[in-house]
Structure 1
Amino acid sequence: MSFTVTYRDGRMFDGDIARIGDLLEQLDGPLDDEYPNVSVRDDDTEWVVSAFQTGLLVFENVEEEDGEPRHMENVTRPEMLRVMEMLARGELNEIELLDWRPGYGP
């Protein structure tokens, strides 16, 4: 399973599941409209989970044109960590079963 993490400033690193906790720490601090999120991308399938400072979590496929993005609001950091680690392990079927709503959110 190969994945990439992307930090708020755009830096990208090859996946290391231990980095996901550090990745989420990037969301601390003042709200930033320009760099509001971090993400984990499955390099094989192009599925991405993006976590935002506001508690928004987005699940989408960045390569499939007909793939609809989904979101959850008010997600806690532990839940963000759990979902991102699931993606890093390739547990796409389990992620699909979560309580997603259509679109990118509010």
Structure 2
Amino acid sequence: MYDAVGGTVDEPDADTMRRLLGGLTQADDEHPDVSLTHESGWCLSAFGDGLLVWENLDENSVAPGEMRDVGREEVLRLFGLLAAGDIASIDAVSWQR
């Protein structure tokens, strides 16, 4: 997981994810998001303005999905699903592609 200042945390727990997501208040142009990447290449990136991006960093043939105005609790729920490797549940969300 990457925090809003570019630091990394391996295998974050729910409390760490919540803390790092709270760090979006420190986001800048160089590090505008907090992201969690699964070993499969799937990644969720959360931005301070409520934008959430779902993409596979290893597979260019899959278009990234976006949601706007996503609340913090929903982001944490999706981060938890990704950490557990539940790609199908995240992919089932209504992403704008």
- Percent identical: 36
Shift of the alpha carbon at 1:34? 2.4
Higher-strand-fraction structure:
1
Q: Which residue of 1 aligns with 2:23?
A: 26
Q: Which residue of 2 aligns with 1:35?
A: 31
Q: Measure, in 2, the Cα distance between the counterparts of 1:23 and 1:90.
A: 20
Q: Measure, in 2, the Cα distance between the counterparts of 1:89 and 1:17.
A: 10
Write the mapping of 1:17-96 to structure 2, written as runs, cut at 5 A. 17-18=13-14, 19-29=16-26, 32-43=28-39, 45-96=40-91
Tell me the number of residue pairs that the alignment of Structure 1 and Structure 2 aligns: 96
- SS of equivalent residue, structure 1 residue 16: coil
Q: Measure, in 2, the Cα distance between the counterparts of 1:63 and 1:76.
A: 27
In the alignment, residue 25 of structure 2 is paired with which amino acid? D
- SS of equivalent residue, structure 2 residue 9: strand
Moved over 6 A (4+): none
Specify every segment of 5 or more residues in structure 2 that has no aligned partner in the other structure, as ranges. Answer: none
Q: Deviations over 1:71-97 (max 9, x none)?
A: 100001111111111100111100011
TM-score normalised by the chain length of structure 2: 0.91
Q: Deviations over 1:51-104 (max 9, x none)?
A: 0011000000001121210010000111111111110011110001111001xx
Higher-helix-fraction structure:
2
Q: Measure, in 2, the Cα distance between the counterparts of 1:28 and 1:82.
A: 20
- SS of equivalent residue, structure 1 residue 82: helix
